[in-house]
Amino acid sequence: MFSVLFKLALTSLFLDITFCQHSKHMQKLLRHRVITDFDEMEGDEEQIRNICCKRMMHNLIIGKGANGEDIEVDVGTCRKGCAKKASKIKKREFEALLKETDPKINPIELFLSLQKGDIFDSCFPGSTCNPSFTKIERYYTVDGSVDVPVIESCQCKRMLSECGVAEKLDLYFSGTPFERLINVGTCQADTLCSEDATCVPTKNATLAIEGPNGIQCVETIEECSCHPSCYRASKLENIYDYSNIDNDSEEAEPELMTIDIGVCVGTCNSTNYKVRKCILRDPENPKRCLSSLTHRSTMCYPTTFKTHYYMDKHGNTKSVLAIKHCSCK
């Protein structure tokens, strides 16, 4: 009995001293309270951290309605909710906190661990607070229908070690018999790409899904890689080639050619790239420009091409230009 009373007295004395000397560090204790409120999670640290990754309101005007008023939608945004915003905690609040925790925890060790900063951050190192579920909602404006992605929930997600495709779930046609959840993908990486490069989609696919108004195409990301602001992305085109078919044969089928024609994506820094447009040419020599205007360009242009040849059903030879490289002009 005497040893128990001595330990309590020693604890009280320790708290009196440390609260006087380290009051500025006690702001962190409220964050510990957030964690202890979720003891039913059985120590699942990842779930506890997800409490700190919250969906916050973010209103966006998407157009005007038939009455002429703006249509405002809460599209949501993900933010870390356990940032360093805790207020000061007093000695009696800390004692109340001790009563809520496991009695086996030594209060002195608890306080010292908090002084060292051994508490949860909003997300794990190498993780970010991102949407875990997005719903595609359709609104009708004076300019027509608009599909708006609305964030429904957020959670801490580990970043990929290298640039690649991460999961991104979108729900289409919610509340209808055609409701469907699709992983459209998103590009992300824990480590930054080289200078002047970002992790961007380089290969997409199109998924046809059935909805209340017929078939709708949804674009999904298949590959990502590090590229500068202006880059070439893959775009596949299917063409039927009849060059290997004998005209006398009725059973032969054309060959299906899949050509990556490519597409230039991104923008350029307008301060570095200028374009001249000829407004007056020499009547005798059209290649000679007599007067031109210079303007800044932000367009990403194809610079080199490759030609693919095929034959149509009527025996005509046709060609398809495929982009090989893109750059700023």
- Reported as a single tens digit per residue, the pLDDT across 150-179 is 999 988 888 888 889 999 999 999 999 999
Strands 180-183 and 127-141 turn out to be unpaired
What would the pLDDT profile of 130-157 be if each residue is shown by its tens digit? 898 899 999 999 999 999 999 999 888 8
Amino acid at 14: F
pLDDT at 7 over 50: no
Arithmetic mean of pLDDT, 117-131: 69
Q: How far, in Å, are 95, 275, 296, 302 from residue 238 at the CA level?
A: 71, 34, 36, 21
With bands split at pLDDT 50, 70 and 90, how would you rate the model's confidence at 202? confident
SS3 for 46-104 is HHHHHHHEEEECCEEEEEECCCCCEEEEECCEEEECCCCCCCCCCHHHHHHHHHHCCCC
pLDDT at 168: 92
- pTM (whole model) above 0.85: no
% of the chain residues with pLDDT over 90: 31
Give the pLDDT score at 33.
37
Structure tokens at 42: 């059985």
Separation in Å, CA 93 to CA 17, 49, 78, 90, 204: 16, 23, 31, 5, 55
- By mean pLDDT, which of 165-169, 195-199, 227-231 is the weakest? 195-199
- pLDDT of 226 over the 80 cut: yes
The pLDDT assigned to 149 comes to 94
Q: Domain boundaries in the chain?
A: 231-329
The confidence score (pLDDT) of residue 13 equals 46
Q: Give me the pLDDT at residue 301, please.
A: 87
Higher-confidence position of 48 and 321: 321
pLDDT of residue 299: 81
- The region of weakest confidence among 3-17, 145-159, 182-196, 208-222 is 3-17
Tokens of residue 197, six digits:
């490069």
φ, ψ for residue 8 (rounded to 5)?
-65, -40
